[in-house]
Amino acid sequence: MGGAAKTRIVLLGPPGAGKGTQAKRLASELGLPHLSSGDILRAEVGRQSPLGIRAQSYMDRGELVPDALIIEMIASRIEGAEGFILDGFPRTVAQAEALEGVASIDVVLNIMLERGEVIRRLTARRVCSDCGAIRNLASEGLDESASCPSCGGTLSQRDDDRQEVIEHRFDVYTEQTAPLVSFYRERRLLADIDGSRPSDEVHAAVLRELTQ
């Protein structure tokens, strides 16, 4: 049947490494819930919930939202779950330690991408407001006014995908999230994936890690 042996999955890596793209594809192929902390937060901001209102200023500056808010938001969604794909959580050592108290993890996929490529990709990233697809103007040869190739919807740029904010997010990743690479390597959960390759090849590498 070829089902994945590992179903409690964490995606780690800098912004723009392709975590969201890979997570969505895996979630639909494996039938696992995709929990994107960024998507959940953006939805909270959209409806201006108390959490959304508190999170918004951090997100617009490219800073991390305080651990306590994030931990509660995610823990309530994974407690007792058989499987999940965590995308964007944990992002600090404190979050990783809290996660250990809530669920055990089968594998951490470390999708690696260097700074220059992160900046090139994110400045060209657009999101479809209708179907949620993540598109890249540069790699897909789309111009600024293009509409979504899958559904014809409107493509828009995330507020935090502006050059200065992108650079800051990368620095925040290096300082606060990169320490999780050794955290999970020590626990023998880490699998390194080269995120610079085409999306299909990254997906194939991810599947190999999940089934071995």
Residue tagged active-site, from 54, 61, 120, 158: 158
Which of 42, 203 has the CB closer to ligand ADP?
42
Q: Is 158 part of the annotated catalytic residue set?
A: yes
Question: 198, 140 in Cβ contact below 8 A?
Answer: no
Among candidates 28, 24, 57, which has minimal Cα distance to 39?
Answer: 24
Contact window for ligand ADP (CB under 6 A) among 55-63, 75-83, 142-150, 193-201: 55-63
The site map against Zn ion for 134-173 (x = CB under 5 A) is: --------------x-xx-x--------------------
Under the binding rule (CB under 6 A), the answer on residue 25 touching ligand ADP is no
The site map against ligand ADP for 151-180 (x = CB under 6 A) is: ---------x--------x-----------
Contact window for ligand ADP (CB under 6 A) among 22-30, 34-42, 134-142, 183-191: 34-42
Give ∠ CA 137-153-52 in degrees, rounded to 5: 90
Under the binding rule (CB under 6 A), the answer on residue 195 touching ligand ADP is no
Long-range contacts at 171-177 (CB < 8 A, ≥ 24 apart): 172/62, 172/63, 172/64, 173/14, 173/15, 174/14, 176/64, 176/91, 176/92, 177/12, 177/14, 177/91, 177/92
Under the binding rule (CB under 6 A), the answer on residue 123 touching ligand ADP is no
In Å, how far are 7, 26, 68, 82, 199 from 207, measured between CA atoms? 11, 8, 32, 18, 12
Which of 130, 192 has the CB closer to Zn ion?
130
The span from the CA of 119 to the CA of 122, in Å, is 5
Contact window for ligand ADP (CB under 6 A) among 4-12, 26-34, 37-45, 190-198: 37-45
**Binding positions for ligand ADP, rule: CB under 6 A:** 15-16, 37-38, 41, 58-59, 62-65, 70, 88-89, 91, 95, 160, 169
Interface positions with Zn ion (CB under 5 A): 128, 130-131, 133, 148, 150-151, 153
